[in-house]
Amino acid sequence: MDFDIADIGLAELGKQRVDWAESSMDVLRSIKDRFEKEKPLSGLKIAACLHITTETANLLKTLKAGGAEVRACASNPLSTQDDVAATLVEHEGIETFAIKGEDSQTYYSHIDTVLDWHPNVTMDDGCDVVSRLHANRPDQLKEMVAGTEETTTGVIRLRAMEAAGALGYPVVAVNDANTKHMFDNKYGTGQSTLDGIIRATNVLLAGKVVVVAGYGYCGKGVASRARGMGAQVVVTEIDPLPALEAVMDGFRVLPMHEAALEGDIFITVTGNRDVLREEHFRLMKSGAILANSGHFDIEIDIPALTELAGSGGKRQVRPMVDEFLVGEESRAIMVVAEGRLVNLGAAEGHPASVMDMSFANQALSVEWLALNKGKLEPKVYDVPKEIDEEVARLKLSSMGVEIDTLTQAQREYLESWTVGTN
Ligand code: ADE
């Protein structure tokens, strides 16, 4: 077996934690049970570039149960759980290339090793595999059956590729399923982002001014959870619609140059670059804590902060927290998890019960792609509505929640257009 992981000796711990996560992933487990009998993924070689977590391990086990061959690598240099990588190799026989804290060169060499294996399906989280495949290995595109993409950031990149006529094979935008972004992005990011900041700093949120940059699903989740813990939340936006939504949801909305003066904790979740930059660092209070929960580490301009602090102006003050001294008064600005995804760098990512839905969408989307092999165009496809609804139904049932069904009269009423005011 080929693999590159930190320590195979961590495999037993990893197995225990993967089993623990599985106990909250009923929907995925029911899919795995069916896949074991039907083997709908036979013939697929899946390159899975995902955060190597306990939840991902359960997805990979499901894909393997479905008859697919799987190779895995990390989708972020800081998100790998080394014990999970070890159990994937030791107990699941899944060739894994991921080490927590790997440098950028190792990160890309791991992706290359997975691509050297000539997969025919990509399962991406951030589109790094798809873009590397298209940029460096156009000759391999003809081998590809299809792909899936997990994140908002990745889907934006894929749609740009499609618009430019550059996309070489069909990809399902798993992120855009309702049972993914309405729950994973909102409740998952909301909770795990604060979890990461709290684990790293032990800061009390009650009474603090928390500035949330971006009011998409992720920003909504972070803002509402921070408010729930007693913080005064300020939202910043560049889009008038979510800005208005934030105002009506009861948050203060400010431009960042004003929020920068007030914030105790800043959290970026925009998907764009340089959201916190030099002009803002110059305004911040000493002790301000900065964290990013967007996919890439570009939202906080760390190079500018490093330059501002100068040589000797940066030191690690706790695991996962770097202090940068800024200005003549040496104001201390704290950056959590190097400005990379704080929820996965400093905590364990989203809890299993929400990843259950995201990864059920992944597994069922790959099955749909296998069923439709050869019939699809090189486009970005939505997750079929039936899959989205099935995931919602299965999740409700696993939670023991029952809902009503339409009566015949109600169904007819919804389908008619002649009935108006009585
Ligand atoms: N993205 C966010 N949280 C995650 C998790 N727990 N596992 C995999 N990907 C994630």
Q: What is the pLDDT of residues 388-422, one digit of tens each?
A: 999 999 999 999 999 999 999 999 999 998 888 87
What per-residue confidence (pLDDT) applies to 422? 79
344 C-alpha to ligand 1 centroid (Å): 7
Tell me if 121 CB under 6 Å of ligand 1.
no
350 C-alpha to ligand 1 centroid (Å): 5
Q: 406, exposed or middle or buried, with CB in 10 Å at 0-12, 13-18, 19+?
A: exposed
Cβ(322)–Cβ(334) below 8 Å: yes
Tell me if 221 CB under 6 Å of ligand 1.
no
Ranges of residues in the chain with a pLDDT under 70 are: none
What per-residue confidence (pLDDT) applies to 163? 97
Tokens for 384?
Answer: 């079929």
Which atom of ligand 1 approaches the CA of 348 most closely? 6
Which atom of ligand 1 approaches the CA of 189 most closely? 2
pTM: 0.95
Q: Is 181 helix (H, G, I), strand (E, B) or coil?
A: helix
Domains of the chain: 8-180+350-398 (3.40.50.1480), 187-345 (3.40.50.720)
What per-residue confidence (pLDDT) applies to 131? 94
Which atom of ligand 1 approaches the CA of 55 most closely? 7
What per-residue confidence (pLDDT) applies to 106? 98
How many C-beta atoms surround the C-beta of residue 2 within 10 A?
12
Tokens for 317?
Answer: 């003050």
Tokens for 366?
Answer: 């790959």
254 C-alpha to ligand 1 centroid (Å): 30
Which of 20, 181, 344 has the most ligand 1 atoms within 8 A of CB, as the residue to mutate?
A: 344
258 C-alpha to ligand 1 centroid (Å): 33
What per-residue confidence (pLDDT) applies to 294? 94
Q: Among 246, 252, 257, which Cα is nearest to 221's? A: 246
181 C-alpha to ligand 1 centroid (Å): 13
How open is the CA angle 71-77-81, to the nearest 5 degrees?
A: 70
What per-residue confidence (pLDDT) applies to 185? 96
Which of 22, 175, 355 has the most ligand 1 atoms within 8 A of CB, as the residue to mutate?
A: 355
Distance between CA 264 and CA 261 in Å, rounded? 9
What per-residue confidence (pLDDT) applies to 421? 80
Cβ(123)–Cβ(48) below 8 Å: yes
Distance between CA 124 and CA 144 in Å, rounded? 14
Q: Is 35 helix (H, G, I), strand (E, B) or coil?
A: helix
Q: Is 317 helix (H, G, I), strand (E, B) or coil?
A: strand
Tell me if 340 CB under 6 Å of ligand 1.
no
